[in-house]
Amino acid sequence: MAAGPLAVASGLLVFRSVLATFILFHGVVCLGIPLMLLLKGWASPGDYGLKRDPRGPWKSLLTGAAVFLAVFLFFALLKDRIWDMEEITAVLDEWGAGSMNPVAFALMMVVGNAFLEELFWRGYALARLVRVTSGRRAVLISAAFYSSYHGLTTGILFSVPFAILSVAAIFAAGVYWGGKRQKTGSLLFPVVTHLFVDLAIIAAYFIFISG
């Protein structure tokens, strides 16, 4: 699991590139490791929650829509207090985000990020952890690793108080999604609601920063 935070740190601090980070973290770690185990027959899709949610899709969609509104309104109302627009723009430009195709960047950060992070943390990592510890402890450990590298990104982009608040919220989200994954046996709810969170963040980025 340490491969995830190390890949993000390498991509942003060594290569200083959003694209390199996506390839290393999302491609090699989040997709590559679970896929390798699936292809070798050491795991099944069901082990990673790649199956139907017995509750259907509507709760995921409705919860996701509510979360989107809450996150977007949070950024819209507090943008002047939590963001230094010029500094964020300069950092993202240094990482190559400003030169990327906007549609490709949005798809990478919303669809790719939501599915691949959930596949790794609430799929692969959680499945491995429950073999050696209790379900509750597995959720907490996976959420801790999941939130760890967000401390790096938020610490660079935001003020210290907001970075701390963000990491705490991300840890709480990881615990919540892990609990839902265990309860339903499916990744559907975590993936859909995570997607809406990322969609709200990207919408705020394009409207309030890059726009």
Phi and psi torsions of 111, nearest 5°: -70, -50
Residue whose tokens read 């207090």 = 81
Give me the amino acid identity at 130: V
pLDDT in tens, 28-52: 999 999 999 999 999 999 999 999 9
- pLDDT tens column, 1-21: 899 999 999 999 999 999 999
Does pLDDT of 211 surpass 70?
A: no
The answer to whether 75 and 208 have CB atoms below 8 angstroms apart is: yes
pLDDT in tens, 139-197: 999 999 999 999 999 999 888 889 999 999 999 999 999 999 999 999 999 999 999 99
Q: Ramachandran region of residue 96, left (φ > 0), alpha (ψ -120 to 50) or beta? A: left
CA distance 172 to 175: 5
The span from the CA of 22 to the CA of 28, in Å, is 9
- List, for residues 102-133, the tens digit of each pLDDT value: 999 999 999 999 999 999 999 999 999 999 99
Q: Which two tokens stand for residue 209?
A: 């920063």
Q: Do 157 and 91 touch, CB atoms closer than 8 A?
A: yes
Query: In one letter, which amino acid is 28?
Result: V
Q: What is the per-residue pLDDT for 86?
A: 85
Q: Could you give the residue ranges of the DSSP H alpha helices within the chain? A: 3-9, 18-21, 33-39, 58-82, 85-94, 102-107, 113-118, 126-129, 135-157, 160-184, 188-204
How far, CA to CA in Å, does 203 sit from each of 45, 82, 110?
Answer: 32, 16, 10
Task: Name the DSSP letter for residue 57.
Answer: S
Q: What is the pTM of this model?
A: 0.95
How many Cα atoms are found within 13 Å in the side-chain-facing hemisphere of 210? 18
pLDDT at 11: 96
Q: Which two tokens stand for residue 189?
A: 């709810």
